[in-house]
């Protein structure tokens, strides 16, 4: 029965003024009287600080690595004049888990389907509004996302092509059980993960920091569950990774603390 009039909405540190204003306008349009925007690296740091209460934030600085469903954000966070502040950041507002799903479909699933039937240029057909295969793209994205999640816990995952009711150009039904290994998936996403490490290195260079100046990289966002993301960032940056807070809800928990 309570009437909620104020909302805290979290945004990537890389959001520009137009994106921030659009987010704030959305909150006002939704009926809230006051909309407070909170940068997600700050929210993640608050979630960590309130979980690990013995940690003295005043004498530390950290990199927050946030790989979400649709955006990537990496930020250098530390206390400045008594406030948690994003000192520097890099990011890509169009890079996230959904891009991994698309790579999964394009580089692994579609070639396997084409080996099993006669489709012509299936990828182009799936992205064409007039093709009979145009709905297949979204069904395969859903299958890829499920397999991706499974591969975070297992070394292989299965995609049942029979559930797609997929026929090739000659009317042959494609109903194989497709087995994808974790290493196949990792080969496809590795260049993208490496590109996020390059963004981190640029932050360190700009701020005259070495890897040993940072205690850890705080990992948040659904992408933090992918084993290769954790392993590769630690390898390339030579900084321990920290997954002590739940990557899925850390941002929301931090917003609640705020």
In this structure, the dihedral spanned by the alpha carbons of residues 87, 212, 62 and 226, taken in order and rounded to 10 degrees, is 120
Residue 57 has a pLDDT of 65
pLDDT, mean of residues 85-93: 91
pLDDT, mean of residues 118-143: 90
Give the pLDDT band (50/70/90) at residue 54. confident
Report d(CA 124, CA 132) in Å as an integer: 11
CA angle (112, 113, 118) in 5-degree steps: 125
What percent of the chain shows pLDDT beyond 70? 98
133-159, pLDDT tens digit by residue?
989 999 999 999 999 999 999 999 999
Query: Hey, which of 68-72, 119-123, 190-194 has the most confident mean pLDDT?
Result: 190-194
**CA-CA distances (angstroms) from residue 75 to 20, 63, 98, 163?**
17, 5, 21, 42
Give 142 or 56, the one with higher predicted confidence: 142
Residue 20 has a pLDDT of 96
Residue 14 · residue 42 · CB < 8 Å: no
189-229, pLDDT tens digit by residue?
999 999 999 999 999 999 999 999 998 999 999 999 999 99
Whether the pLDDT of residue 60 is over 80: the answer is no
What percent of the chain shows pLDDT beyond 90? 76
**CA-CA distances (angstroms) from residue 63 to 119, 190, 201?**
46, 20, 11
pTM: predicted TM-score of the whole model, two decimal places: 0.89
């Amino acid at each position: 029965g309570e009437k909620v009039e104020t909302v805290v909405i979290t945004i990537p540190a890389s959001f520009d003024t137009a994106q921030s204003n659009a987010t704030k306008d959305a909150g006002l349009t939704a009926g809230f009287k006051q909309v407070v925007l909170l940068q997600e690296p700050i929210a993640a740091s608050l979630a960590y600080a309130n979980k690990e209460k013995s940690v003295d934030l005043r004498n530390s600085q950290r990199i927050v690595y946030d790989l979400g469903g649709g955006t990537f954000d990496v930020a250098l966070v530390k206390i400045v004049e008594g406030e948690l502040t994003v000192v520097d950041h890099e990011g890509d507002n169009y890079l996230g888990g959904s891009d991994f799903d698309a790579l999964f479909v394009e580089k692994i699933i579609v070639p396997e389907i084409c080996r099993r039937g006669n489709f012509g240029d299936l990828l182009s057909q799936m992205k064409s509004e007039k093709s009979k295969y145009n709905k297949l793209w979204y069904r395969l994205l859903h299958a890829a996302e499920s397999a991706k999640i499974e591969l975070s816990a297992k070394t292989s995952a299965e995609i049942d092509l029979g559930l797609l009711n997929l026929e090739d150009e000659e009317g042959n039904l494609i109903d194989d059980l497709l087995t994808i290994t974790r290493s196949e998936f990792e080969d496809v996403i590795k260049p993208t993960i490496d590109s996020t490490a390059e963004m981190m290195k640029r932050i360190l260079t700009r701020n005259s920091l070495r890897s040993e100046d940072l205690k850890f990289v705080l990992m948040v966002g659904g992408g933090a569950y992918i084993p290769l993301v954790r392993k590769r960032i630690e390898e390339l940056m030579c900084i321990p990774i920290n997954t002590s807070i739940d990557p899925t809800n850390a941002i929301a928990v931090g917003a609640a603390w705020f």
